[in-house]
Structure 1
Amino acid sequence: MEYTFTLKYQLAAHESELDVLVERLGAAGCDDALVGIGLPGRLALVFTREADSAETAVRSALADVQHAVPSAMLIEAAPDLVGLTDAAEIVGVSRQNMRKLMLAYPGDFPVPVHEGSASLWHLADILAWLQARGNYRLTQDVVELAQVAMQVNVAKEARRLTHPETLGLEALAS
């Protein structure tokens, strides 16, 4: 099956030669990714990877990038953190429809990860909630990919929190 997902990275200061980076990524097996450099020091790779499962696709891409650019730090695997507009687009409904669902079912609509003027949810939570309702046709590859992306992001954050030295917060841990 074919899976499309994005991996976003922070580059080390010495990784500024974009042409060299693209060559290294291609040689490491990332030739199935579109490479985007938006902000200085950032790298986004949009993969369309053939694999038996979403987990295999994402994990192999993570390993390929790590091999090509060992100093790159993962920022986010997507699709995971989404607003209502993004979730609606993925599901194939209007933003207004998604908002109506959120407002109509305040007790069981998934809780956002961040609530504010731009609230964010884990896409996997919204898709699971919609699947449980039974009214929405969701492709299994999208559901599986959202779950894997969430697992990668949560694991990354858990590692970051269990190793405060990576945040420069050693003093707070003691």
Structure 2
Amino acid sequence: MEYIFTFKYQLTVADQDLQAVVERLGEAGCDDAVVGIGQPGRLALEFTRDGPTAAAAMRSALADVQRAVPSARLVEAAPDLVGLTDVAQIAGVSRQNMRKLMLAYPHSFPAPVHEGSTSLWHLADVLAWLDTKGGYALAAAAIEVATVAMQINVMKDQHRLNRDLGAALGTLPM
């Protein structure tokens, strides 16, 4: 099955030759990705990758990027954090319809992971909720990719928190 997902990376000073980075990515098997290099020090890769599952496709893409650019730090796997407009577009409804659903089902609609002038949700949570409501044409692959992207981001953040906590505890007098 074909899966579409994006990985965003922060590059080091050693990887400033973007043409060389792009060539290494192609050699490592990332020729199924559209490369975005607009923001200095950042790299975005939108993959269209075949695999038996979204997890397998995304895992192989992560490994290919790691092999090509070992110093690159994963910033985000997408699609994951989204606003109501993003969810509405994926679900094929209007933003107003999504807002009505959120307000009509305050006890079951997924809680945002960030509330503010722009609230953000894990796409996987909202798509799973919409799937239980029925009547929405949601591609199984979209739910699967969103779930794996969320898991990658949570694992990445957990690893960072464990590392930071370990460093902080290492400086405490015992």
CA–CA distance in structure 2, aligned partners of residues 24 and 98 of structure 1: 42
Runs of 4+ in structure 1 deviating by more than 4 angstroms, as ranges, are none
Q: 1:90 to 1:13 in 2, by over 3 A?
A: same
Matched-pair contact (CA < 8 Å) for 1:164–1:173: no
- Residues 77 and 152 of structure 2 are in contact (CA less than 8 Å); yes or no, is this contact kept in structure 1? yes
1:14 aligns with: 14
Q: Deviations over 1:88-145 (max 9, x none)?
A: 1111111111111111111111000100011100000001101111221211101101
Matched residues, percent identical? 65
Pair 1:75 & 2:75 matched: yes
1:1-174 matches, within 5 Å, as 1-164=1-164, 170=168, 174=172
Structure 2 residue ranges without an equivalent (≥5):
none
Q: Distance in 2 between matches of 1:163 and 1:106?
A: 36
User: Distance between the aligned counterparts of 2:38 and 2:115, measured in 1?
Assistant: 26
Structure 1 letter corresponding to 2:2: E
**Distance in 2 between residues matched to 1:69 and 1:170, nearest whole Å:** 29
Q: CA deviation at 1:170?
A: 2.7
Between the aligned partners of 2:143 and 2:94, the Cα distance in structure 1 is 19
The answer to whether the Cα contact below 8 Å between 1:34 and 1:45 also exists between their aligned partners in 2 is yes
The CA deviation at 1:67 is 0.4
- Structure 1 residue 171, shift from structure 2 partner: 6.5
**Counterpart amino acid of residue 168 in structure 2:** E
Q: Is the 1:81–1:121 contact (alpha carbons within 8 Å) kept by the matching residues of 2?
A: yes
Q: Name the stretch that deviates more: 64-73 or 132-141.
A: 132-141
| Change in 2 beyond 3 A, CA 1:173/1:84 | farther
Question: Distance between the aligned counterparts of 1:118 and 1:76, measured in 2?
Answer: 19
* CA displacement 1:14-67 (0-9 Å, x = unmatched): 211011000000000000000001211000000000111100110000000000
